């Protein structure tokens, strides 16, 4: 089974505690600071692309604020949910089913955002470098790229080799983590029991892989791709990243 297929059905339920609103507030501050506004003059780039948009939660929050949004994800099941949400909220968001390593757009855009550790699904330096180069290619001069990533420390000390079990009215799940230190990879074995309309539970499984990232290496790859680094902050404190940062948020610019 592909990632985020069966998982898509319960993704929003399991992510209900993710601080999307806080992330959105921080993103919009940076967008405003670097000239990506909702009210650009005609001909100025103000389109924002969210990579790894999933079910469209962040895409919708930014659209609520007036930004012209495109969402890209490689899971058709996740995008089906994003499009159902679009039918409800009415925003004119373009959703594209594409891989972030190979996406294609019709022209340059003002900004890219990528949240909730989607970048960690790129499992090698070359995949990361190629994605950074592609993003740089589609950014207008002066455009920015805002993203976050989980660190090696996060997988080594927080969730690696841990099992998480939780229960909701609609589903139960078991989340087994297996950390592979030689490759700095975390394996997620996800088992879900989803309640059907007749009251019975349907079981399905997915396996996901993410790679822990080091800010020093990420910074090198961004610079090599042509970006100017604006800032990097610890997600929890907004201070400079440190050895025990679990998630780091980065802003870079195409000059």
The reply to whether 15 and 75 lie within a common domain is: yes
Say whether 4 sits in a helix, a strand or coil.
coil
CA distance 81 to 77: 7
**Residue 166 maps to a domain:** yes
Quick one: tokens of 136? 């740089």
The reply to whether 78 and 169 lie within a common domain is: no
pTM of the model: 0.93
**Residue 245 maps to a domain:** yes
pLDDT of residue 153: 96
- Domain holding 247, by residue range, is 6-151+214-254
Q: How many separate domains does the chain show?
A: 2
pLDDT in tens, 119-141: 999 999 999 999 999 999 999 99
The reply to whether 53 and 94 lie within a common domain is: yes
pLDDT in tens, 60-119: 999 999 999 999 999 999 999 999 999 888 899 999 999 999 999 999 999 999 999 999
DSSP state of 8: G
pLDDT in tens, 141-185: 999 999 999 999 999 999 989 999 999 888 899 999 999 999 999
The reply to whether 167 and 71 lie within a common domain is: no
The reply to whether 204 and 231 lie within a common domain is: no
The reply to whether 56 and 114 lie within a common domain is: yes
The reply to whether 110 and 233 lie within a common domain is: yes
Q: How many CA atoms lie within 13 A of 193 on its CB side?
A: 11
| Four-CA torsion 76, 77, 80, 85, nearest 10 degrees | -130
The reply to whether 116 and 98 lie within a common domain is: yes
**Residue 204 maps to a domain:** yes
The reply to whether 187 and 243 lie within a common domain is: no
- Which residues are CB-contacts of 137 (< 8 A; sequence separation ≥ 6)? none
**Residue 1 maps to a domain:** no
The reply to whether 240 and 167 lie within a common domain is: no
**Residue 27 maps to a domain:** yes
C-alpha distances in Å from residue 13, one per residue of 168, 172, 189: 9, 11, 18
Q: Evaluate if residue 43 carries a pLDDT over 60.
A: no
The reply to whether 67 and 170 lie within a common domain is: no
Tell me if 3 sits within 8 A of 206, measured CB to CB: yes
The reply to whether 66 and 173 lie within a common domain is: no
């Amino acid at each position: 089974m592909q990632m985020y297929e069966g998982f898509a059905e319960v993704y929003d339920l399991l992510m209900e505690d993710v601080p999307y609103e806080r992330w959105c507030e921080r993103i919009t501050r940076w967008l405003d600071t670097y000239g990506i506004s909702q009210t650009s003059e005609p001909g100025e780039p103000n389109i924002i692309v969210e990579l790894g948009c999933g079910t469209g939660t962040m895409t919708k929050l930014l659209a609520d604020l007036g930004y012209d949004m495109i969402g890209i994800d490689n899971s058709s099941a996740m995008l089906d949910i994003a499009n159902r949400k679009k039918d409800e909220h009415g925003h004119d968001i373009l959703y594209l089913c594409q891989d972030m390593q190979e996406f294609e757009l019709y022209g340059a855009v003002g900004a890219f955002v990528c949240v909730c550790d989607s970048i960690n699904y790129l499992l090698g330096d070359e995949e990361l470098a190629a994605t950074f180069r592609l993003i740089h290619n589609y950014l207008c001069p002066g455009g920015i790229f805002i993203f976050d990533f989980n660190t090696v420390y996060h997988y080594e000390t927080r969730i690696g080799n841990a099992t998480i079990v939780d229960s909701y009215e609609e589903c139960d799940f078991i989340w087994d983590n297996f950390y592979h230190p030689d490759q700095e990879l975390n394996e997620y074995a996800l088992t879900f029991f989803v309640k059907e309309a007749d009251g019975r539970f349907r079981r399905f499984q997915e396996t996901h892989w993410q790679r822990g990232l080091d800010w020093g290496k990420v910074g090198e790859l961004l610079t090599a791709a042509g970006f100017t680094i604006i800032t990097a902050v610890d997600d929890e404190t907004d201070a400079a990243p440190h050895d025990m940062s679990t998630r780091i948020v980065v802003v870079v610019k195409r000059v």
